[in-house]
Structure 1
Amino acid sequence: MKWLILSVAAALSNSAVVHAEQSNLLFSVKNELLPQVVELDGVVQPINQGTVASQTSGRIVGLNVDVNDYVKQGTVLLEISAVQQSASLDAAQAQLASAIAQDRDAAAQVKRYRLLFPKGAISQELMDSAEAKARSSAAAVRSAKAAVAQAKESLGYTSVTAPYDGVVTQRHVELGETVAPGTPLISGFSTDKLRIEAEIPQRYQPSVNRVEQFEVVSPQGKRVLPIQYSLFSYADPQSHTFKIRLNLPEQINEFVPGMWVKTEFHYADRDTMLIPNSAIVRRAELSAVYRVNGDERLLNPVRLGQTYGDYTEVLSGLEQGDVISTMALNNQQGN
């Protein structure tokens, strides 16, 4: 993984890191908090992706999409022969009609028996038998209705539809093939909801505590703030890094699944002393600045750190409140 400390040009524009007296080209040294940022490599992934499988048996009689097609939710992707499913539905509906007829007959008989029973024309045994038959016929109606619902569901499985808006990535069957329940049919993903998956070195893992620490940079240079993150609680045994997933806002057109992007992670702030590059005198391996002491300009050696745009970090040699000249070249010519 390639990672490095990034430029702080944006931070310098938002915070007065240094205070200079521009009228006489003097610079007052001051410490400021400098954001520490590490750059992570990430890959764009769809949140919703998967493979649609067959839920019934039959032969493929229609293929309406191909790889790379964009489909809307509910679009019919393919059709499976429905002869067996239609026959099962017809049989279930016929069974339901028969059960309803028997239930009506049983209910009518119970109604008649209840009128005759108090007069002693019907025995208790016949009354109990009629009521049991009525209950059985009512249960048969419920069972037949469930069979019809199941048959309708099976018939609906013959038209396979898209579960969400997305792109078809793979077609697992061809026209005329016979499929069974569980056979993979179409694979695809949604482009509306995306996330970035990156790996964080273990030294930075304890510093992750909020989503605002991350910023994703598109190949076009657009910066996008994630809306949610998920940090894995275990490290990869090979790379010893922690995987993190950053959910992006919806409808971000600059990103597509599989794209490689940069993710900036602001893991800390460091108290840093910066001076303008124009104030630095470089002589062989020596770095120095002209420190102003009254009317004198004294050559003051300094040890420098990293460069951030027009400024360079001072590791030692200066203290807060020191005043230096910002025109090192003119000072060298004057000396």
Structure 2
Amino acid sequence: MRPAVRWSLIAGAVVVAGVALRATVFRDAGIEVETARVSRGAVEDAVTNSEAGTVRARERARLAPALGGRVIAIPKREGATFRAGELLVQLDADAARLRRDLARRDLEAARHAVAQARAAAALARRDWDRVAALEPQGLVSAGELDAARARRDEAEAALRAAEAREASARSALELADHALRDLRVVAPFDGVVSQRFVEVGETLAPGQPALEVLNPRRLYVSAPLDEMDIARVRVGLPARVTLDPYPGRAWQGTVSRVAPFVNDVVQQNRTLEIEVELALDPAGPLPKPGTSADVEVILDRHDGVLRVPTFAVIEGRRVLVVQNGRAVARDVEVGLRNWEWTEIARGVREGEIVVTSLDRAGVKPGAAVRPAAGGAPADTAKAAAGAR
């Protein structure tokens, strides 16, 4: 074989080998991207708190005796539960009991005095009636008639005075009973003792707090919303509450109060306070008052709609669909959206794969891409055909 022919064949073989290597070994594998499948599910339109909210007890009170005195008993310590009406604090009541016993005896004496005055008044009225009946016959003098009238009036006045003293004694006994009750602090509702401020043997002044109590089963969340969301929030809307100590768990609730004014203490961060009543799960953990909380107020909800992750949507109107190893731009019409999901009303088909890592270098329409390991498969030719 001539040398020229041999070198031509060698050169041709090299070219063919290069083309084959480029098509196989050195083929562009594409940019590795994170992907998600277009699927059906729920999408909510919601607003969230601008700063951390706080779990609070709807029933919470600092309890104090109406009267002062020395503490002789505190049956419940911090963390102890109680029922409404149960004794929580008892002050020394010896002197108050003596005053009540004295008031009871005074009332008994007053009742006896009324009975005596009533009998005397009845006798005086009978004497008057008898004398008055004899007066037309001229059998009694004017002086005797006047004397009988005076005795009747005096007896009736004495009866009224005795009845007034009885009423006063009855009121004194009621006051003594009230004083005894005011030396006791009883539970206003079912709950738990959260704080104690005194110990047995200490002296309390009237109105000085002895305990703080709360009902851990009537909870709400107080949270600030940005003033831009004021017009969209109203009482009665459903809400979802999450707590940092319980990741992955959410509590349902209802907006029960929207503040009538905007908090403008911080000029650059004007907020509106809302309250959300918590619906407790009997089988779940019981949130602790004082825990920080995040609130989502659900403004609207669409179930069973096509949706994609919100961070897969470009400028609110376009997605990149993985088709034949390429990122293909697709205009879409969106519906409800939140930080996690966006509803797609038109433009993609269920089952198609969209790129979610839009910030990755080189990711743009027409770029060669491949789903990351564990991501959605890239073969969506059938779904793409159906979306056209």
Q: Give the TM-score category using the shorter length.
A: 0.7 to 0.9
Residue by residue over 1:153-175, the C-alpha shift from the partner in whole angstroms, topping out at 9 and shown as x without a partner, is 21123332222221212212222
Of the candidates 150, 169, 172, which is equivalent to residue 197 of structure 2?
Answer: 172
What letter corresponds to residue 264 of structure 1 in structure 2? E
Query: 1:52–1:187: 8 Å Cα contact kept in structure 2?
Result: yes
Equivalent in the alignment of 2:44: 35
| RMSD over equivalenced CA pairs, Å | 3.8
User: Normalization by structure 1: what TM-score?
Assistant: 0.72
1:262 aligns with 2:294: yes
Of the candidates 226, 238, 258, which is equivalent to residue 253 of structure 2?
Answer: 226
Of the candidates 206, 220, 224, which is equivalent to residue 195 of structure 1?
Answer: 220
Query: 2:237–2:297: 8 Å Cα contact kept in structure 1?
Result: no
Moved more, 204-213 or 89-98: 204-213
Q: 1:303/1:118 Cα in 2 relative to 1: closer, same or farther (>3 Å)?
A: same
Of the candidates 39, 48, 54, which is equivalent to residue 65 of structure 2?
Answer: 54
**Partners of 1:276 and 1:231 in 2: CA distance:** 33
- Structure having the higher Rg: 2
- SS of residue paired to 2:234: coil
Of the candidates 86, 109, 113, which is equivalent to residue 98 of structure 1?
Answer: 109
Moved more, 184-193 or 213-222: 213-222
Of the candidates 143, 151, 175, which is equivalent to residue 168 of structure 2?
Answer: 143
Equivalent in the alignment of 2:384: none
Equivalent in the alignment of 1:87: 98
Query: 1:61–1:176: 8 Å Cα contact kept in structure 2?
Result: yes
**Partners of 1:51 and 1:307 in 2: CA distance:** 42
Query: 2:251–2:280: 8 Å Cα contact kept in structure 1?
Result: no
Shift of 1:276: 6.1
Shift of 1:46: 0.4
**Partners of 2:46 and 2:251 in 1: CA distance:** 16
**Partners of 2:252 and 2:128 in 1: CA distance:** 80
Residue by residue over 1:121-170, the C-alpha shift from the partner in whole angstroms, topping out at 9 and shown as x without a partner, is 65222211211111111121111111111101211233322222212122
1:208 aligns with 2:217: no
What letter corresponds to residue 82 of structure 1 in structure 2? A
What letter corresponds to residue 75 of structure 1 in structure 2? E
Moved more, 131-140 or 258-267: 258-267
1:110 aligns with 2:121: yes
Shift of 1:207: 0.4
- SS of residue paired to 1:182: coil
Residue by residue over 1:237-278, the C-alpha shift from the partner in whole angstroms, topping out at 9 and shown as x without a partner, is 1231010111224676532211222221223579xx97768x
Which has the larger share of strand?
Answer: 1
Aligned residues: 287
Equivalent in the alignment of 1:244: 274
- SS of residue paired to 1:226: strand
**Partners of 2:201 and 2:320 in 1: CA distance:** 81
Shift of 1:324: 10
1:71 aligns with 2:88: no
Q: 1:89/1:299 Cα in 2 relative to 1: closer, same or farther (>3 Å)?
A: closer
